Structure 1
Amino acid sequence: MKILLLEDNKKLNEAITKRLKLKGYNVLSFIDGKEAYEKITEGFSCFILDINVPNIDGIKILKKIREFYSSLPVIIISASVELDVIKEAYDFGCNDFLKKPFFIDELEIKIEKLCKIQNDKIYFDENSYFDFKSALVVINNQEIRLTKKEKLLINLFLTKKNQVISYESIENYVWEGNFASLESIRSLIRRVRKILEKDYIQTVVDTGYIFKIT
């Protein structure tokens, strides 16, 4: 399981990272909010966020996560005891809140409870899947490496499978807030359709696309 940890206290960050790696988790840790913000689409199964960190705070990162991942677990860790801060964290979709100081054992328990996701591989059918750990598509045992935009598009489709995704949502997620023409989006869709071979991606006229899998 791949975990994103954001904690600006270097010693605490290192201690948590070391403990979680000993448990067999794949941990990417950050002390800067902006750096963490730029990595949230990298196929994580769980997020652990401090609130008061440099550049972009944990609440803003939580809001961004929830734009694209409605169900992935987010644990907030913070020294703040202000009710408004705690309420805001829950309002924006955190799954649990852990007040500093805490025993790392407490955090481990919450991770085991909330974040243990059994499948790091999402299957399109019995012979094809996307591996969140390696960000590879595997079709009939053949590994296919993706460009960054291809990976982001598939990641978006799989987090919102069987849901209509608008052109605007694709632009915001895949182009990370930069402008993308409709033709650029269609060109990317054509490339991904070719990679996947089967027609999982269906066009919703004048709206966007839907990724149909069971």
Structure 2
Amino acid sequence: MKLLLLEDNQKLNETITKRLNLKGYSVDAFTDGMHAYNNIDEGYNCFILDINVPNLDGVNLLKRIREFYNDVPVIIISASVELDIIKEAYDFGCNDYLKKPFFIDELEIKIDKLCNISNDIIYFDTQCYFDFKSSIISCNQQEQRLTKKERLLLNLFLSHKNRLVTFDNIQNYVWEGSMASLESIRSLIRRLRKLLPKEYIQTIVDTGYIFKTT
């Protein structure tokens, strides 16, 4: 998958690029809005745009992108909390908004969900799948509807299959930045495990979990 990243903070730009490269994504990174605009026709699957950048801000770049591409996902990342700016971004067709500072894992999850998943059904076993749209997990033709936190947790695991998901990752994504005790996280893990026919979720002591799939 090919992405365009517009972020004028050089360190953050490099960090995001490195992480997405490690996932196998091709990233063209820019720090200047006009330079990014001059390259929007290079066949991108996803655009990640900061708002406050030199020469052409992210919202106006989004507007120009939508003049050419109606369906390519656009994720806005910004420190701005001004509701008018956020509303304007959504009015011009942004698909999601991520406020700085954020964990890179959060951005990866949004990219996986918006840009890399072609449908709402994700198989993690020949007999098991998760339907994002209905929040239903189906294993061996038995269906279970998940609660919001169970759905967010499974979403997080499926976006990081066979990779470590830390306690901090879970707290930040499932509890959406609010504090969560280790016991709350472990209780949620136990509930999700009961809905699964196999031991997909492996505990990494004092660190987190790995969702193991074949």
Distance 2:76 2:84 in 1: 14
Superposition pairs for residues 99-178 of structure 1, below 5 Å? 99-116=99-116
2:92 matched residue in structure 1: 92
- Does the alignment pair 1:53 with 2:50? no
Deviation at 1:117, TM superposition (A): 6.0
Task: Give SS of 2:43's match.
Answer: coil
Q: How many residues align?
A: 118
SS at match of 2:116: coil
TM normalised by structure 1 equals: 0.54
Amino acid aligned to 2:116: K
Q: Which residue of 1 aligns with 2:66?
A: 66
Indicate the residue corresponding to 2:22 in structure 1.
22
Q: Distance in 1 between matches of 2:22 and 2:34?
A: 27
Q: Counterpart of 1:29 in 2: which secondary structure?
A: strand
Deviation at 1:64, TM superposition (A): 0.7
Q: Distance in 2 between matches of 1:100 and 1:87?
A: 17
Q: Using structure 2 for the length normalisation, give the TM-score.
A: 0.54
CA deviation after TM superposition for structure 1 residue 52, in Å? 0.3
For 1:115, what is the secondary structure of its paired residue? helix
Task: Work out the CA distance in 1 between the residues paired with 2:89 and 2:98.
Answer: 11
CA distance in 2, matches of 1:8, 1:74: 17
Gaps of 5+ in 2: 119-214
Write the deviation string for residues 98-135 of structure 1: whole angstroms up to 9, x where unpaired.
Answer: 000000000000000000166xxxxxxxxxxxxxxxxx
Residue 54 (structure 1) shift:
0.3
Q: Which amino acid aligns with 1:83?
A: L
SS for the counterpart of 2:3 is: strand
The one-letter amino acid paired with 1:101 is P
Does structure 2 conserve the Cα–Cα contact (< 8 Å) formed by 1:75 and 1:98? Answer: yes
**Residue aligned with 1:14, SS:** helix
- After TM superposition, what 4+ stretches of structure 1 lie above 4 angstroms from structure 2? none
The code of the aligned residue for 1:59 comes to: V
Contact 1:45 1:117 in 2 (8 A): no
Structure 1 position 74, deviation (Å): 0.1
Q: Determine the structure 2 residue equivalent to 1:210.
A: none
Q: Is 1:2 equivalent to 2:2 in the alignment?
A: yes
Greater relative contact order, per chain length (Cα 8 Å cut-off, separation 6+): 1
